Amino acid sequence: MRILALLLALAASAQQPESGFKISVTSNLVIVNVGVRDKDDKPIENLKPEDFQILEDGKPQKISVFEFQSLETEVAPVVAVPPPPGSATPPKREITPSKPGQIRYKDRRLMVMYFDFSGMPQQDQLRAQSAALKFIDEQMTPSDLVSIMSFTNKLQVMQDFTQDHERLRTVISSFRIGDASELAATAATGAEEEGEDTGAAFEADETEFNIFNTDRKLGALESAAKMLASLPEKKVLVYFSSGVGKTGAENNSQLRSTINAAVRGNVAFYPVDSQGLMASAPAGDASRGAPKGASIFSGKAQMGQRDKQRDQQETLFTLAADTGGKALLDNNDLTSGIRQAQAGISSYYILGYYTSNPAEDGRYRRVKVSIASQPRARLDFRSGYFAPKQFRDYNSTDRERHLEEALALGDPITDLPLALEVNYFRMKGDRYFVPVAIKLPGSQIDLARAGKSDEAQLDFIGQVRDAHGRIAGTVRDNIKVKLKGENAARLRTRQLEYDTGFTLPPGEFTIKFLARENESGKIGTFETKFVVPDLTATSPWLPISSIVWGNQREALSAAIGAAEKDKKAIAMHPLIQGGQKLIPSITRVYRTDQFLYVYFEVYDAAVTAERKEPSITASLSFFQGKTKAFESKPVRVSQASAARRHATPVQIQVPLKDLKAGRYICQLNVIDELGKKFNFGRAPMVLLAHAPAAASR
């Protein structure tokens, strides 16, 4: 079922400069790093180009670039040489790229120390800083070159690769301990947009798209891997963080995209959990108030704390395992994590060849390396790469295949940022209508000139699979958007929303959606799991639909493009009433000059012989930490849906002008007064201060 396609004029977003790190392919040189070890796990040296055979898709290739990187493992004493007075040089705040075929760092081990301060408490920042300084003072070898990166509200290169111990010490010591540590707290003020964010190193910079999920951290890691990809040598990235927490709104495609970018760039992640070995008390420490209830006596509180920690470490372990690195977890000696990364690169060979297949068809090409003279040697190398192709050269068949292959690939594409929300509403029996809303930033849409107006073409393709991997639903839409004058200019500061839906039975599902902007060929992938519960089953809880949190209603006439408009489907759509559609706030970001709209449905509400209509009461509570900041007036509903008598729709509208800017947990409380049942739902939200200048644009 497809209802509408795109809606214009969602919340305005800050315009970002279009500068950034860009990669352009200037030749068809393919670089392969090959580690060669004997049965005793020692590097095999003194091999020559003729000893190696490289096959691409089964065809032999001629080796044009050959280098052996001999790396030392013995620690050398640091000889401090003070610079002449007045000759101190500032740190080089960019990664110097290499030209195709150039080996810039001969016999050097390239290590990046990456400090993720965005969710790291102050004490963890101190531990990470101390471990890095200790490694520089005591563990660096003559082969080591170290680069420093940091991430708070943007990715920054603090120092290019260098062996200057004093320069590295100066950069690491200059970190402002406590910077961004407030983002680690549940009740933080949520001012991620403070400071200058030019987007130079991290393109996924729309605050609404990254404020609640792990995509922001993973997107920055992907940008770091792409920066390092131009260097043909092996690289290790030591990732200091306090774990990567999850909220349930993450894009699984972003994790795989980050991993694949690292694999393509010969970058291995070595995450270091700066929390160290934790032994938390059931009642918490002195940094917060004691919890209420009996959970501290039953062990539930302690189990919850441990589960949360494991959840934070799961992503770190995945980043390491899938890129060839190792994760340091539950260890107070953080320096050992850096030593693991140091030991992860031993002597290896750099092989380069100009592919005999010049076709830029975008297909995957398999690479195989063998050594005839060393049949028992263990070889470590990447197994293939994707050939380039310019999107403007695609014909209609190529474009369709491009979408289908992107959907089938395990290698997701995240050039176009997406945010997706799935909801569910019970229709008849065991059938549920599952509306899907996708939000994408207008600043990422390229417009083509078509007569007197500007035009954008967008392709959407999606699949829903059940728990057994079978396809339960598909959608394929092509939408043309024509904008004139002011509307075309406003697109850069607006967001677009695509709306579709499926009819599904109860169960566990996986949804994968792709959106492509057809002027530049940028693709965004979003993949996540969701559950449609069986709301007809006996339960002590009041059965309710998913809760839709919104901040805007749009007239259907405001749609700037549509795949189809089915009047019957529109009439049955729970979020469309009176010719207006409630726009889900996928990213849960609001302003103080807006309203919070909440919609949900109660099913099979109780009635009595005296009262033939249900009696439902609902209210909203806003929490900052354990403090209740605000509670709305209760709303009472006694009217069932005219089209679906088993459903009682409930709407709540709350002005946000009386709340202070910050982070909140919003809790919905629902009571069936006649049935003596209740239910509740929670959602995190960020409230931004009203900016009159931005709002008037």
Q: Which tens digit of pLDDT belongs to each residue from 371-427?
A: 888 888 888 777 777 676 666 666 666 677 677 767 776 666 777 888 889 999 999
Q: What is the rounded average pLDDT of the residues 128-154?
A: 89
Per-residue pLDDT, 401: 66
- Written as six digits, the tokens of 326 are 């190792």
pLDDT of 3 higher than 70: no
Per-residue pLDDT, 251: 60
Through-space distance between the first and last CA atoms of the chain, rounded to whole angstroms: 35
Per-residue pLDDT, 190: 36
Lowest-confidence pick of 178-182, 244-248, 510-514:
178-182
pLDDT of 198 higher than 70: no
Q: What is the rounded average pLDDT of the residues 505-527?
A: 88
Per-residue pLDDT, 331: 79
Residue with more model confidence, 78 or 344: 344
Task: Confirm or reject CATH 2.60.40.3880 for domain 1-25+396-536, answering yes or no.
Answer: yes
- Written as six digits, the tokens of 9 are 């004029």
Q: Give the C-alpha separation, 435 to 2, whole Å.
A: 9
Q: Are 365 and 387 in contact (CB under 8 A)?
A: yes
Per-residue pLDDT, 177: 77
Query: Which residues have CB under 8 Å from 146's CB, separation 6+?
Result: 111, 112, 113, 136, 140, 159, 161, 162, 163, 168
Per-residue pLDDT, 278: 63
What global pTM score does this model have? 0.56
Residue 549 pLDDT level (bands cut at 50, 70, 90) = very high
Strand partners, 686: 589, 663
Per-residue pLDDT, 334: 85
pLDDT of 538 higher than 80: yes
Q: Are 391 and 520 in contact (CB under 8 A)?
A: yes
Residue 185 pLDDT level (bands cut at 50, 70, 90) = very low
pLDDT of 205 higher than 50: no
Residue 16 pLDDT level (bands cut at 50, 70, 90) = very low
Mean pLDDT taken over the chain = 78
Lowest-confidence pick of 127-141, 205-219, 333-347:
205-219
Query: Which residues have CB under 8 Å from 45's CB, separation 6+?
Result: 68, 70, 347
Q: Are 459 and 477 in contact (CB under 8 A)?
A: yes
Q: What is the rounded average pLDDT of the residues 490-507?
A: 84
Relative to beta strand 589-591, strand 677-688 is: parallel
Per-residue pLDDT, 237: 93
Residue 321 pLDDT level (bands cut at 50, 70, 90) = confident
- Domain spans in the chain, listed from the N-terminal domain onward: 1-25+396-536, 29-70+348-387, 104-186+194-346
Q: Are 666 and 621 in contact (CB under 8 A)?
A: yes
Of 76, 74, 81, 88, which is closest to residue 137 (Cα–Cα)? 76
Q: Quick one: angle between helices 252-264 and 300-321, nearest 10?
A: 40
Q: 601-649 pLDDT, tens per residue? A: 999 999 888 888 899 999 999 998 878 999 999 999 998 888 888 999 9
Per-residue pLDDT, 485: 65
Q: Which CATH superfamily is domain 104-186+194-346 in?
A: von Willebrand factor, type A domain (3.40.50.410)
Helices (H), ranges, 229-379: 252-264, 295-298, 300-321, 335-343
Per-residue pLDDT, 306: 66
Residue with more model confidence, 199 or 473: 473
Per-residue pLDDT, 316: 85
3-state secondary structure of 216: helix
| Portion of the chain with pLDDT greater than 90, in percent | 23
pLDDT of 7 higher than 60: no
Helices (H), ranges, 91-162: 122-138
Q: Give the C-alpha separation, 607 to 156, whole Å.
A: 61
pLDDT of 452 higher than 60: no
Q: Beta-carbon neighbour count of residue 339 at 10 Å?
A: 15
Q: Give the C-alpha separation, 417 to 444, whole Å.
A: 8
Q: Are 341 and 269 in contact (CB under 8 A)?
A: no
Tokens 């209508």 sit on residue: 433
Residue 280 pLDDT level (bands cut at 50, 70, 90) = low
3-state secondary structure of 675: coil
Strand partners, 183: none
pLDDT of 666 higher than 90: yes
Q: Give the C-alpha separation, 180 to 450, whole Å.
A: 46
Per-residue pLDDT, 201: 41
pLDDT of 207 higher than 60: no
